[in-house]
Amino acid sequence: MICKNMKSIAVFLFFPLLAALWVAPVYADAMVSLKQPPNSLEQWYKPANKRQVWLHTMFRLRREMQAIAEYAEQNNQPAMQKWIKRLDEDYNKIADMVPEWEDQIKPRLLSELEMFAEKGDMPRVGKTLEMIGRTCDDCHTYYQPLVIATYRSPHYDDIKLKDSNGKEHSFEDNMEALSASVNRILIALDDGQKPVALQARLTLLEQLQNLGESCNSCHKDDEYPRERILGKATEERFTTLQASISEGRVKDSQKMMGEIAVTVCARCHNTHRIVSDLRDALLPEK
């Protein structure tokens, strides 16, 4: 249950996606009160920033902690101290970048880590690293889902698509039209209306081509995402579908529609819609 207009939102975290994005483990029966991230965090994410500064800082922190742990096991003090110095710099950047999170970090742990490393007390180095890691996990548990939803998920409200007549449509309207065309083909196949099925197939293909023009809104100069979903393989499936409908092979046509649904619709939704729906569900209405 999501409570609107509240800064703290209670939800069951069962989204597998979050686990893939390095969040602290949360079990399906665990209730977590999510917190809105401070507004100051926005300046460290695109598009407010040219680079994903916050993300790169987090990636470095994880790499630095891993390096320290590995060199501690090898009892390699010089290498370990090199990475401790880097960790100290990046860890303390958190409070500089987002002052509201100053109480979330524990700078004294870095001083202790350096002291234990100088003494060669590797067991204490390991335990201190674990304590630093817990400060990261605590923050991730309460903030990371909403941070992902806010700054790392697609937002389609501003994307406009033009149909074959040059008329602009919203992304949502385009999705509705795609769904209608898919069903129109299947209805026509079921009722033996070959001309209707052929025309709906042509309409669906045009709609998908128009949809493909919007890919560069996010992917810029990268053609691979569009090619993977709407490229040559999809064109070949539509050619096969046309032949099957024309020759009256209803079952083959229905099977090909199933393939298109999986390789085009589902493939795109599994990549984009899950995260988009997460954003809509978790972010309170403004």
Neighbours of 186 (CB within 10 A): 17
| Nearest C-alpha neighbor of 15 from the set 277, 268, 261, 285 | 277
The tokens of 192 are what?
A: 């033996």
Amino acid, single-letter form, for residue 71: Y
pLDDT by 10s per residue, the chain, length 286: 333 333 333 333 333 333 333 344 444 455 667 788 999 999 999 888 988 999 999 999 999 999 999 999 999 999 999 999 999 999 999 999 999 999 989 999 999 999 999 999 999 999 999 999 999 999 999 898 888 888 887 777 777 777 767 777 787 888 888 999 999 999 999 999 999 999 999 999 988 888 887 777 677 777 777 788 888 999 999 999 999 999 999 999 999 999 999 999 888 888 788 777 777 777 766 5
Question: Phi and psi for 69 in degrees, rounded to 5?
Answer: -65, -45
Name the E strands within 26-142: 31-35
